[in-house]
Structure 1
Amino acid sequence: MIKPRVKAPVISLRILPSAMTVTAICLGLSAVKFALDGRPTESMAFLAVAAILDALDGRMARILKATSRMGEEIDSLADAVNFGVAPAFIVYATLLSSSRIGWIVVLLYAVCIVLRLARFNAMLDVVKPDYENKYFVGMPAPAGAIGAIGPLAAKMQFGDGWWTSEIAVVIWIVGVSLLAVSSLPMRKIHTFAVSPNMVPLLLVAVAILVAASILFPYLVILAIIIGYVIHIPFAIRTRRFLAAHPEVWDDKPRQQRQARRAIRRAQPHRRSVMRLGLRRPGS
């Protein structure tokens, strides 16, 4: 009698996103280990790879149609570990271990990141206008992690200085913590529109960024931090304009910019007319 052949179990690709998230957690905790061992370069490298995996696992889950409630919970826990706990330990081990208030400061940072993640999850089911989906409320956790290790990157690039002093590091970490729990709008990078004519230039810029990350990693981290901080006032202004002008919500980004420029040019003329109208005759 011929026995039926039993097929070997096949591991589905649907597990890949969760595997990437678990790998990111391991890398984040390994970053802490390297920081405690006095190896800050490897620590920041592992944290960067963990951030890249965090950015890819959600997209991979949507591509494979493998989204699940368990995967969402794992992803949230991974964000808390990689962008809250890990940077706090790295900064404490490398810059604030001898500070009397250093532990309090890094605890503040970790708690603020966790609160920011909790608020983000709570707002997922809130119905919002389409333009609101282009903005984070407060600094996102990955950006907060990059910002937190900014003083360490400056130390590795330029050595010790005022930027590594206790007071400077404390003020910086407190500032990053407050940005994370603030209500300031931060633009989501993937919502920026790029015209087809700019795609070749964008690819060249990506190639330059990758090369610079290999040769000058600490300068790239500092440049990313500076660029992100500079974008905040523009994000606030753009979101304020969209909130006040619902008639442009359905327009393309280019049309919205044109409408904003037209309104801005019309405002000085409107103010001058109002001043002339308030003047008394013969004055």
Structure 2
Amino acid sequence: MRLLRQLPNFITLLNLFSGCIAIVFAFNDNYVYAFGFVALGIFFDFFDGFFARILNASSPLGLQLDSLADMVTSGVTPGLVMYKMLLDTVNNHDLPVWLPYLGFVITLGSCYRLANFNVDTRQTDSFIGLPTPANALFITSLPLVLANTDSLVLLELLINPWFLLSVSALSAYILNAEIPLFALKMKQFSFQKNKLQIAFLALSVVLLAVFRFAGVPLIILGYVLISVVNNRFHKK
């Protein structure tokens, strides 16, 4: 039984392992596999908490381990992906060689958000600021959108260094912004209590089916916008 209680921590380490592999693929410009292993790490990140609750194995160690694993998978990886995208634009636009390193502002913002999450007692049933996994999916999907888009406007944006720097700055900001966002975890099997989550998941499936890779950033943007609208609706 004691060994079984370590299962959540083992799953957390699988998240970390996935993040390490994602970083290797990102270094080698294999963004499809980098995105895939980030998604796999987020899958493990979801289920470590799930099993911790089932086994009643939540612990301060597990909390810290979870944040350290997320720092790699959802913090370092998206920063590296943005660095690589900016590096390509620098080579094409004759810009300062140090400019791509500003992509790691995403990593800095992720680190601050994860540390703050551990001490913020307000984020038990919902989030304040964009969760790092959602941000990681958004950023790591951008090179896939770039490689698969037929839109000249989107193409021009994603190879524009100033647009990418703006995305990096906005990413770091929204990770730590005082914006309440609804949680996707369904603690009770009730349509009435989970209708927002169910509607959002249905919308996500439609966006992925219609837009494929471009659906990922649309889903994350939709998550933020729906949360903002939901917040205003409940204030009235």
Give the TM-score category using the shorter length. Answer: 0.7 to 0.9
Deviation at 1:211, TM superposition (A): 11
Q: Which gives a bigger RCO, structure 1 or 2 (Cα 8 Å, sep 6+)?
A: 2
Once the two structures are superposed, the pairs formed by residues 20-35 of structure 1 within 5 Å of their partners are: 20-35=11-26
**Residue 271 of structure 1: aligned partner:** none
User: Against the structure 1 CA distance between its residues 75 and 60, is the aligned structure 2 distance closer, same or farther, given a 3 Å change threshold?
Assistant: same
**Residue 87 of structure 2: aligned partner:** 97
Residue-by-residue CA offset, 1:91-117 (whole Å, 9 max, x unaligned): 212x1124342212x221111111111
**Residue 209 of structure 1: aligned partner:** 205
The amino acid across from 1:97 in the alignment is L
SS in 2 for 1:190: coil
**Residue 135 of structure 1: aligned partner:** 126
User: Against the structure 1 CA distance between its residues 109 and 211, is the aligned structure 2 distance closer, same or farther, given a 3 Å change threshold?
Assistant: closer
User: Which aligned segments of 4 or more residues in structure 1 are displaced greater than 6 angstroms?
Assistant: none
2: distance between equivalents of 1:45 and 1:210?
20
For the 8 Å contact 1:136–1:186, the answer to whether it is kept is yes
User: Over aligned residues, Cα RMSD in angstroms?
Assistant: 3.2
Residue-by-residue CA offset, 1:45-104 (whole Å, 9 max, x unaligned): 0000101110110111110122222212111101111111111112212x1124342212
**Residue 219 of structure 1: aligned partner:** 214
For the 8 Å contact 1:156–1:218, the answer to whether it is kept is no
Residue-by-residue CA offset, 1:122-180 (whole Å, 9 max, x unaligned): 113xxx6xxx7543111111122122234323213216432332111111111111111
**Residue 234 of structure 1: aligned partner:** 229
**Residue 120 of structure 1: aligned partner:** 117
Structure 1, unmatched stretches of 5+, are: 1-9, 242-259, 261-283
For the 8 Å contact 1:144–1:177, the answer to whether it is kept is no
Q: Percent identity?
A: 24
2: distance between equivalents of 1:195 and 1:115?
35
**Residue 104 of structure 2: aligned partner:** 107
1: distance between equivalents of 2:139 and 2:233?
26
Once the two structures are superposed, the pairs formed by residues 1-283 of structure 1 within 5 Å of their partners are: 12-93=3-84, 95-98=85-88, 99=90, 100=96, 101-104=99-102, 106-124=103-121, 133-158=124-149, 160-190=155-185, 194-195=191-192, 205=202, 209=205, 212=208, 217-238=212-233, 241=235, 260=236
For the 8 Å contact 1:185–1:235, the answer to whether it is kept is no
The amino acid across from 2:8 in the alignment is P
2: distance between equivalents of 1:18 and 1:189?
22
Larger Rg: 1
Deviation at 1:232, TM superposition (A): 3.8
SS in 2 for 1:189: coil
1: distance between equivalents of 2:208 and 2:178?
33
Structure 2, unmatched stretches of 5+, are: 91-95
Deviation at 1:11, TM superposition (A): 7.8
1: distance between equivalents of 2:109 and 2:116?
10
The amino acid across from 1:96 in the alignment is L
SS in 2 for 1:139: coil
For the 8 Å contact 2:25–2:34, the answer to whether it is kept is yes
2: distance between equivalents of 1:217 and 1:43?
17
Deviation at 1:26, TM superposition (A): 0.9
1: distance between equivalents of 2:57 and 2:124?
23
